């Protein structure tokens, strides 16, 4: 991932730092307040980083050090707000089946912007540091909205305040 991000930067596929004012994401029903310390991957950068259209996020933010990404994906799968807590009990088995060598996995329900979200935080072995992934899932207009936070454990720890500020500002609707 590090080489891909470097290539994207070299190709000029990042837009300037986002302003710390609320913005509406173009293709999904989300408003958020990105910090001026976050970079936004533009459409060309997203297509380059995620060459397969299947699973390609709609929006991606990067920390200034380009070590932690926050990707937003609005999937076609149906999900109602009442079904969000069910994900907490059902989805860990899916994660374990699809992700090899999981070291830790925590599942819970959290409130963000007055809305329930299923939260899954898991680590896997990495070179020099464990990889940390966090999936946040909720219902957006009856469809599944997924926010994926990805980075190494140490890089996430250094950027946690910035990342939490972004995720806590998310409003669906």
The number of folded domains in the chain is 1
Mean pLDDT in residue range 35-40: 92
Question: Does the residue 65 lie in any domain?
Answer: yes
Question: Does the residue 110 lie in any domain?
Answer: yes
Phi and psi angles of residue 74, each rounded to the nearest 5 degrees, phi first: -100, 105
Question: Does the residue 128 lie in any domain?
Answer: yes
Mean pLDDT of the chain: 89
Question: Does the residue 10 lie in any domain?
Answer: no
What is the layout of strands, in order, in the sheet containing 30-32?
Answer: 23-24, 30-32, 171-172
User: What is the distance between the terminal CA atoms of the chain, rounded to a whole angstrom?
Assistant: 31
Question: Does the residue 132 lie in any domain?
Answer: yes
For the entire predicted model, the pTM comes to: 0.87
Binned at pLDDT 50, 70 and 90, residue 146 comes out as: very high
Question: Does the residue 2 lie in any domain?
Answer: no
pLDDT at 107: 98
Question: Does the residue 28 lie in any domain?
Answer: yes
Binned at pLDDT 50, 70 and 90, residue 20 comes out as: low
**Tell me, what CATH number does 90's domain have?**
3.40.1000.10
Residue 16: pLDDT over 60: no
- Domain of residue 68 covers 23-172
Question: Does the residue 161 lie in any domain?
Answer: yes
Residues 94-127 have pLDDT tens digits of 999 999 999 999 999 999 999 999 999 999 999 9
């Amino acid at each position: 991932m590090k080489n891909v991000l470097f290539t994207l930067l070299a190709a000029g596929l990042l837009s300037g730092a986002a302003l710390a004012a609320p913005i509406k994401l173009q293709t999904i029903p989300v408003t958020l307040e990105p910090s001026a310390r976050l970079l936004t991957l533009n459409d060309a950068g997203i297509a380059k980083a995620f060459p397969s259209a299947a699973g390609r996020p709609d929006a991606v933010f990067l920390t200034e050090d380009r070590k932690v990404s926050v990707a937003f994906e609005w999937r076609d799968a149906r999900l109602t707000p009442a079904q969000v807590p069910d994900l907490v009990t059902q989805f860990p088995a899916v994660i374990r089946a699809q992700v090899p060598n999981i070291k830790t996995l925590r599942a819970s329900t959290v409130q963000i912007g007055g809305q329930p979200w299923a939260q899954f935080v898991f680590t896997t072995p990495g070179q020099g540091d464990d990889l940390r992934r966090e999936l946040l899932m909720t219902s957006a207009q009856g469809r599944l909205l997924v926010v994926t936070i990805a980075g190494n454990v140490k890089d996430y720890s250094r950027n946690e305040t910035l990342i939490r500020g972004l995720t806590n500002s998310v409003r669906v609707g």
